[in-house]
Structure 1
Amino acid sequence: MDTVIGIIGGSGVYEIDGLEDAQWISVEGPFGAPSDDLLVGKLNGVKMVFLPRHGRGHVQTPSTVNYRANIDALKRAGVTDVISVSACGSFREEMAPGDFVIVDQFIDRTFDREKSFFGPGCVAHVSVAHPTCPRLSQHCYDAALSAGITAHMGGTYLAMEGPQFSTLAESKMYREHWGADVIGMTNMPEAKLAREAELCYASVAMITDYDSWHPDHGEVDVTQIIATLMGNASKAKSIIAQLPERLGEARSDCPHGCDKALEFAIITQPEARDPAMVAKLDAIAGRVLG
């Protein structure tokens, strides 16, 4: 199998530099329209697919992003490994604005989003005990260090609904009592859906601010966030540029089983499955539904 790297670009990351034979393509699927067309090309001999999470021009809110359509579109495009790039706030003094965190855990506080491809007629339960791929995350971390970026390996990402930022009370609770390290609005249900789609998923979180808990930094200011984003975007691109060489053209099975997540996850018996639901799952679960 060939490696196909999928990049979901968050705030500030709207393109990939150096893509050869790059073209925007439209991908249709049963879960509605993705945030935008997909930018497809090759980087250092490895196929790469880029999707701007909020659409070009940043037209989708964190809640209106069609996460299911996005992951389905990447799967249909042949993507094997997904790297999510997103902005976040920090709850830790040592995780400063401008730093990157390679997230390995999530607390999902979103409530207004479709969180599964499965449903009545075809029920499945996948494990997200370890919601990111250690192999892919390590490559991202190594690339960050190689690029001279201050990066932190591991961290818990609190996914909030938004679009408003946290109250001071919420910020203190997430930091002091819940043990979260960073906060953002877009990695959930994205990570859960990637697992259902049997895609390796890594989260590169770019810190822009200290949320509202920090006594010396005050409340979150959008102008401050945008200024930090501009610097972070170039750093993120330097990580992306290294991934083809690190991952290689030929892909072997994931040693952590991300690409076999559905092996024993589907509960509905074959004779009871809804044919219409099964048809919708052709890209996501075709390997096990046959």
Structure 2
Amino acid sequence: MLGVIGGSGLYKIEGLKLIDEVELNTPWGKPSDKYIITEYKGNKIIFLPRHGRGHLYPPHLINYRANIWGFRKLEVNKILSVSAVGGINENYKPGDFVISYQFLDFTKTRASTFFEGIYTKEDDYIKDDLVSQYLKDKRVVHIDVSDPFCPELRNSLENSLKKLGFSYHKNGVYVATEGPRLETAAEIKALKTIGADIVGMTLVPEIVLARELGMHFASVSVVTNLAAGIKGEKLTSEEVIEMMERKTEEIKKLILDFSENLPTNFKCDCQSSLEGAAI
């Protein structure tokens, strides 16, 4: 089943049938909002507003563990992350879509694992898998994130973007910063030298937590503006909101086409991410 985490209005799509809204609790607290269960051409898609409806939670205070665990409880095994980013690579223009294939983590205060040794919490939701076993045994886990994104989902995203004729870049390096402040021009200059293409505040720890649960995870971002110091102009939230509103219909079309063309047999190693990772 596919989960989509992003803006609060993404589920309002013509042809998408609203089935239910589910409120969950988890050992890590409450998710950002209710999970919106929908159906499109016989396939279920579950949406979660990352910041809550009304944009209640800043990036550094989102309950990422609760959000991702809630998807697990709803039997989601594939996640599409949709986000707004600033452009660092000079070839990336406002309005372009970006499929990330690597990330750089410059966050500071966020819990980024479910497995905390003797401090690990358990849930009454138990599956016959390594996740439940390692939580029960209070194991410490070090997952491999050499190739963090699901190659199968990345390929499906590219096929959909190509089919729809949207401008995109397929090998983006996403740098995650703590926020909620924007970056300085010096920070962006430094991040560019180490290979960053886009900058945002939400991908990490979402992707790390999803990988710990053996989920297939892909990220598509919209470049809403150029990052600090590139144009030499003041950055505002208004330009981010305006660009995302302009791109909303394209994002919705992308989600529907992507959901129709997901692979049935995954040949990646996402589901085995926990194998050999526990101490």
Normalising by the residue count of structure 1, what TM-score does the alignment of the two structures yield? 0.85
Please give the residue correspondences for 1:1-290 in structure 2 after superposition, counting only pairs within 5 Å: 4-10=1-7, 13-17=9-13, 18-120=15-117, 121-175=138-192, 177-215=193-231, 218-247=233-262, 251-252=264-265, 254-267=266-279
1:200-249 CA distances to partner (integer Å, 9 max, x unpaired)?
0000011000011313x52322222211111122211111011232016x
Residue 11 of structure 2 aligns to a residue whose secondary structure is coil
Following superposition, the deviation at residue 21 of structure 1 comes to 4.1
| Counterpart in the other structure of 2:128 | none
Residue 116 of structure 1 aligns to a residue whose secondary structure is coil
Contact 1:211/1:219 (8 A) holds in 2: no
Read off the aligned partner of 1:111 and give its amino acid letter.
K
CA distance in 1, matches of 2:41, 2:257: 9
Structure 2 residue runs of 5 or longer lacking an equivalent are: 118-137
CA distance in 2, matches of 1:25, 1:220: 37
CA distance in 2, matches of 1:160, 1:189: 11
1:95-152 CA distances to partner (integer Å, 9 max, x unpaired)?
1000000001100000111000001232111111111101101111211122221011
Contact 1:15/1:52 (8 A) holds in 2: no
Residue 247 of structure 1 aligns to a residue whose secondary structure is coil
Read off the aligned partner of 2:270 and give its amino acid letter.
C
CA distance in 2, matches of 1:48, 1:168: 39
Following superposition, the deviation at residue 159 of structure 1 comes to 0.1
Contact 1:5/1:81 (8 A) holds in 2: yes
CA distance in 1, matches of 2:97, 2:243: 12
Read off the aligned partner of 2:277 and give its amino acid letter.
A
Residue 145 of structure 2 aligns to a residue whose secondary structure is coil
Q: How many residues align?
A: 258
Q: Which moved more, 1:19-28 or 1:75-84?
A: 19-28
CA distance in 2, matches of 1:24, 1:104: 32
What's the C-alpha RMSD, in Å, of the aligned pairs? 1.4
User: Post-superposition, which runs of at least 4 consecutive aligned residues in structure 1 deviate over 2 A?
Assistant: 12-16
Following superposition, the deviation at residue 65 of structure 1 comes to 0.6
Normalising by the residue count of structure 2, what TM-score does the alignment of the two structures yield? 0.89
Residue 36 of structure 1 aligns to a residue whose secondary structure is coil
